[in-house]
């Protein structure tokens, strides 16, 4: 039987929002949106602030291109392709894009990867999507398999891709929650490329085109991500905004027009910033407690968390926030760095808010025969 020791911790809080921790504010219900599905999360804490039908299967339309971009960023980071490389526009890429969203590529044209990424993200070019897919994987079908592998690794369990563009297909689907997961991954994993999502205009082949995310003009805090539209999917928008270091991600799908998707997205973002604050509680790999180790080469092991800990709570509730540790009473060597030896618990007004594994921050090997024998005797009298 595993015995635990409860330890109350001091909160090492850094505010991530423009909140007054001593003020009190009431939190109304989240707004009801004219959309098929929507979700609002805090980027740092991953806490859901508003949702409706977030796990329902939806058609992603050009939101698909978020994954096309993610997979391309991954190849750039891996070194398999470079921004300076060029790719040839195939007949398939040129033909498929006719009458749809396009960056106006010409068949057999050699285009730089950087221009293709800009055309993909800013202009939502279906031709750019297919050229990138064929350049990276040989065919759009093979690239779709790659997209699904990335989705699996990111935990997007409600998603399946069959193309790189988002053109309608009954086997091409996702969920609002999965799209939020993907948006977070783009920001987290590829900060060097994320800024492209906030560029308002891109010119190619002598044609100026503007980013379809009109929140970039309406809200100075919004810096991305992507729009989507087909007749069957409706008008969709995944947006992210950062205000005083508090980043929110909103997903709105199935609205009636371009203006509606912007208005409904802004409702979510305003709600999040008006009524919630995010706090940075503890850093990763920072010692929170030292615990006795029996039969080891050292007598104590530092314990902490392996990821930064953030919480998002209603504004004015800071004083009701408490943290504690549940630590295994008997820790015996060998101790493995990263091994779990308890949990970090955060409560708000006495209710469990979140729990994270409490892990060893270093390895501790078994002690000598003398140390093991001595500690074995001491344990008998504990």
The residues assigned a catalytic role are: 62, 65, 124
Q: Is 26 exposed, middle or buried (0-12, 13-18, 19+ CB in 10 A)?
A: exposed
Check residue 366 and report its DSSP letter.
B
Residue 261's region, left for phi above 0, alpha for psi from -120 to 50, else beta, is: alpha
Is the bond leading into 225 cis (omega within 30 degrees of zero)? yes
Neighbours of 106 (CB within 10 A): 10
Across the chain, the runs of DSSP E, i.e. the strands, are: 4-9, 14-15, 37-42, 48-52, 86-88, 110-112, 201-204, 207-210, 222-230, 234-243, 246-255, 276-282, 289-294, 300-304, 309-314, 321-328, 331-332, 340-348, 351-360
CA proximity to 131, closest of 82, 171, 95: 95
Q: In what order do the strands lie in the sheet with 309-314?
A: 14-15, 276-282, 309-314
Bridging pattern class, strands 222-230 and 207-210 = unpaired
Quote the CA–CA distance of 93 and 300 in Å, as a whole number. Answer: 62
């Amino acid at each position: 039987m595993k015995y635990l020791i409860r330890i109350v911790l001091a909160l090492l809080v850094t505010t991530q929002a423009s909140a007054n921790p001593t003020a009190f504010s009431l939190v109304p219900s989240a707004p009801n949106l004219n959309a098929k599905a929507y979700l609002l999360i805090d980027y740092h804490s991953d806490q859901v602030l508003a949702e409706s039908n977030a796990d329902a299967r939806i058609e992603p339309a050009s939101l698909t291109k978020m994954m096309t971009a993610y997979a391309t960023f991954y190849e750039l980071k891996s070194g398999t392709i470079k921004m300076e490389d060029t790719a040839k526009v195939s007949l398939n890429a040129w033909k498929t894009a006719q009458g749809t969203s396009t960056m106006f590529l010409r068949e057999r044209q050699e285009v730089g990867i950087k221009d293709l990424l800009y055309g993909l993200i800013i202009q939502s070019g279906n031709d750019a999507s297919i050229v990138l897919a064929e350049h990276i994987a040989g065919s759009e079908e093979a690239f779709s398999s790659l997209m699904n592998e990335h989705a699996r690794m990111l935990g997007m369990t409600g998603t399946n891709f069959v193309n790189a563009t988002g053109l309608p297909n009954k086997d091409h689907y996702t969920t609002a929650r999965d799209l939020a997961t993907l948006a977070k991954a783009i920001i987290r994993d590829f900060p060097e490329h994320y800024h492209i999502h906030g560029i308002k205009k891109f010119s190619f082949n002598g044609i100026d085109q503007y980013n379809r995310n009109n929140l970039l003009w309406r809200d100075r805090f919004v810096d991305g991500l992507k729009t989507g539209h087909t007749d069957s999917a409706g008008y969709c928008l995944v947006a992210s905004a950062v205000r005083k270091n508090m980043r929110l991600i909103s997903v709105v799908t199935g609205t009636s027009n371009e203006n509606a998707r912007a208005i409904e997205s802004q409702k979510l973002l305003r709600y999040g910033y008006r009524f919630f604050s995010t706090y940075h509680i503890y850093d990763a790999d920072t010692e929170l407690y030292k615990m006795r180790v029996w039969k080891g080469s050292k007598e104590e092991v530092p314990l902490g968390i392996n990821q930064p800990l953030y919480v998002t709570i209603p504004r004015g509730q800071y004083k009701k926030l408490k943290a504690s540790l549940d630590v295994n009473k008997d820790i015996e060597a060998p101790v493995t760095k990263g091994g779990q030896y308890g949990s970090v618990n955060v409560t708000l007004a006495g209710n469990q808010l979140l729990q994270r594994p409490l892990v060893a921050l270093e390895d501790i090997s078994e002690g000598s025969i003398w140390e093991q024998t001595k500690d074995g005797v001491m344990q008998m009298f504990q």
